Structure 1
């Protein structure tokens, strides 16, 4: 769900899946099976789980990113190609063996394609996660929530969710860092972003003693 919601066309959809070696093989197997089983089709059909991309250029861009990554050494676990017929459909894709020099790592993949990156441990996972020009949302999945909180504080991202998908909530500030933006929307912090604050300074009139009391 984190990758393929809205057909992968969501700014907060998960793009890179950074997985520690100890669970990577099982994760890749189960993840690829789940993605392979997704129903692709008409978005008006209630059985459809993944629909088309919004525009032809988005389809072309996603195909380029996947193809370039595969040529650079990524391994296709499932998908990896556009679908023929009417509509801008790309088969839901999982790429393994993704490295930092690949398009699937460096660029935002705005469609149903997931990149799996293996790391040795949590510390390397943080370094890899922060090696990005973007910083809108991230999620950490762990059996140790205290560890999850400590790692979250080291992640360079506007939002970090522990054991949950990244989502927006009107009660919480939402926004990114780096190339993902500046400032926040939603919550009281967001309201202030759209508020003009007026400063008025009044000096004492001639013969009037200055006062430190605030005006009524």
Structure 2
């Protein structure tokens, strides 16, 4: 698998700082965790285990090849953990129980929910987040309206 570089060196360094902070907070490093030496803004694919809701990689957005494993007691606890985030771009649910998927989908505070899939983008479907993950939508007819400037004219007939 080829993993491309990050956009800038400072973003790679910020990601590395987030990983190191999470490790100092008690997470376990299963894979990676290092800047790749040499030219380019490369960061090793990284997996962090034993991450809790009090750790940096739970509280902050990590824009890079890092996966944080957070254990939930059950589906209700998983929803509570997901909704405890300041962010809300997308969520993914993997299940064979379509009724349970609908129930969980209705509880999640995200702009999009993907069942048995990771986040995808299609120009026919609106895409965007809630909370600190954005305002409004891109793509579809909703996205086109983001580029419109409506003018309101109020005529007082008094």
Structure 2 length normalisation: TM-score?
0.91
Give deviations 1:101-128, integer Å, cap 9, x for gaps: 1111111111111100001100000000
1:81 aligns to 2:30 (yes or no): no
User: Which structure has the larger Rg?
Assistant: 1
Q: CA deviation at 1:175?
A: 1.2
Partner of 1:170: 123
Counterpart Cα distance in 2 of 1:200 and 1:69: 53
1:100 aligns to 2:61 (yes or no): no
Structure 1 unpaired stretches of 5+: 1-38, 40-48, 205-216
Partner of 2:43: 90
Q: Structure 1's 66 and 191: CA in aligned 2 closer, same or farther, altered over 3 A?
A: same
User: How many residue pairs align between the two structures?
Assistant: 157
Checking the alignment, whether the CA contact within 8 Å between 1:62 and 1:110 is kept in structure 2 is yes
Q: What aligned pairs does 1:111-190 form with structure 2 within 5 A after superposition?
A: 111-190=64-143
Give deviations 1:137-196, integer Å, cap 9, x for gaps: 111111212211210111100011111111121111111111111111221222223234
Counterpart Cα distance in 2 of 1:67 and 1:170: 37
Q: Structure 1's 100 and 202: CA in aligned 2 closer, same or farther, altered over 3 A?
A: closer
Checking the alignment, whether the CA contact within 8 Å between 1:65 and 1:103 is kept in structure 2 is yes
Structure having greater relative contact order (Cα 8 Å, sep ≥ 6):
1
Counterpart Cα distance in 1 of 2:62 and 2:16: 10
List structure 1 segments (4+ residues) > 6 angstroms apart after TM superposition.
200-204
